[in-house]
Amino acid sequence: MEYDEKYRGKLMLRLFSIHQNIIQEIEHDAENLSSVINNAQWIDVHDANDFDRTFLTRLLHTELPESNDIEEIEASARCFVDKSGIHIHSLFMTPSEGRHQTVSVACILQKERLITIHDGDIADFRLLRMRARRGQVESRSPQDLLLTLLEQKVENHADSLEDLHRELEAVSYLVLEDESSELEEAIGKLARLEDTNGKIRLCLMDTQRDISFLLRHLSVQSSEQETLREIMRDIETLMSHTTFLFDKINF
C-alpha cells in the first residue's frame, strides 16, 4: 500500500533500525516510505490522524489504538497480549505551560519491531532520539529497546526528583528564614512542587505495573530479567523519595 500523494510528507513518524547492536535513525521519503516502515525495528508515531492509522494498520497488519483507548485507566486495558503482540500503555511526563502533564504512550512489542504511539513530542523520546543519532543507544532487539526506554524513563524521574528537592530547599529558606519573602509566592511554589511530585509518583507506579506485566509475559534472557528487576528496585527507592518530599512539602 502506498501513502496517497495528497498526504505524502505529512505522516508524523520516526523510524529506526538496529545495526551491530546500535540503534540508528533511518532517513526516508515518500518514495520509499512503505518499504522503510516494513523494515524498521522501531516505529515512533506521534499525532497520528485517522488516515495515518489506516495506512499503518494496513501496512503493518497491526491495529493502532485511538487516543481515547491509549488513555484508558483500567489495568486490563493498559497491559494485554493479543495477536498483534504485547501491549503496554505507559505514562510519561511532559511539561505544559509551567506545569507538568502526564501523557500515555502505547507500546506494541512484536518479534520484529517496537511500535510506539503518542500525542505530542515527549522529552523522554527526544532524548532517546538524540542519543540514537550519536550512536549511544545499544540494543540487541526490539524488546531490549523497550527495556531501554523504561530504564531511561525512570532515570529521568530520578533527575526530576533531585531538581524538586533543590527547589524545595529554596522554598524552605523563603518560608523559614527570609523574613522579607512573600509567603503567597512560596505557597504557589509549594503547590506546583506537590503537583509535580504527585505526577512523578503516578508515573512510577504505572511503570511498576508495566514491569510486573513484562516479567510475566515476556520471554527474556537472564540479563534482561535482571535489568527489569534493577528498574523495579530503582522505582521502589524513588517511591520512598516521593513520600519524603510529600512529607516535607506538607510540613
How much is the average pLDDT of 148-165? 93
Q: What are phi and psi of 71, to 5 degrees?
A: -85, 0
Exposure letters 115-128 (e unless 16+ CB within 10 A, then b): bbbbeeebebbeeb
178-226 pLDDT, tens digit each? 666 666 777 878 888 899 999 999 999 999 999 999 988 887 667 788 8
Q: How confident is the model at residue 142 (pLDDT cuts 50, 70, 90)?
A: very high
Do 133 and 166 belong to one domain?
no
Q: What integer pLDDT is reported at residue 7 of this predicted model?
A: 46
Please state, for a pLDDT cut of 70, what percent of the chain lies above it: 87
| Final residue of a structural domain among 140, 161, 179 | 140
* 241 and 158 housed in the same domain: yes
CATH number at residue 49: 3.30.460.20
pLDDT at 6 over 50: no
Mean pLDDT in residue range 17-22: 91
Total domains in the fold of the chain: 2
Average of per-residue pLDDT across 165-178: 77
Domain identity same for 57 and 136: yes
Instruction: Indicate if the pLDDT at residue 9 is higher than 50.
Output: no
| CATH number where 155 lies | 1.20.58.240
Look at residue 180 in the predicted model and tell me its pLDDT.
Answer: 62
Whether 135 and 202 share a structural domain: no
Q: pLDDT-derived band of residue 10, with 50, 70 and 90 as boundaries?
A: low
AA letter at 216? R
- Those residues whose C-beta lies under 8 Å from the C-beta of residue 217, and which sit 6 or more positions away, are 81, 86
122 and 229 assigned to the same domain: no
Mean pLDDT confidence for 144-157: 94
- Find the domain containing 83 and state its range: 5-140
Judgement on whether residues 106 and 152 belong to the same structural domain of the protein: no
Q: What average pLDDT does range 135-149 have in this prediction? A: 91
Q: For strand 114-118 and strand 42-46, is the pairing parallel, antiparallel, or unpaired?
A: parallel
pLDDT digits (tens, 9 = 90+) for 50-108: 888 888 888 888 888 877 777 766 666 788 999 989 999 999 988 776 678 889 999 99
Q: Mean pLDDT across the chain, nearest whole number?
A: 85
Same domain, 124 and 86: yes
Same domain, 65 and 18: yes
What pLDDT was estimated at residue 105? 93
Please tell me whether residues 61 and 97 are part of one structural domain. Answer: yes
Q: Which comes out higher in pLDDT, residue 121 or 1? A: 121
DSSP 8-class letter at 5 = G
Q: Show which of 140, 157, 173 is a domain's final residue.
A: 140
- Quote the DSSP letter at residue 178: -
pLDDT given for residue 30 in this prediction = 64
pLDDT of res. 121? 81
* 168 and 132 together in one domain: no
Please determine, for residue 234, whether its predicted confidence score (pLDDT) is greater than 80.
yes
Q: Please, where are the H alpha helices in 28-182?
A: 33-39, 50-60, 67-70, 75-78, 123-133, 142-176
> Max Cα separation, the chain?
69
Is residue 162 located within the same domain as residue 122? Answer: no
135 and 196 co-located in one domain: no
DSSP state of 7: G
DSSP structure class, residue 6? G
Last residue of a domain, one of 111, 140, 169: 140
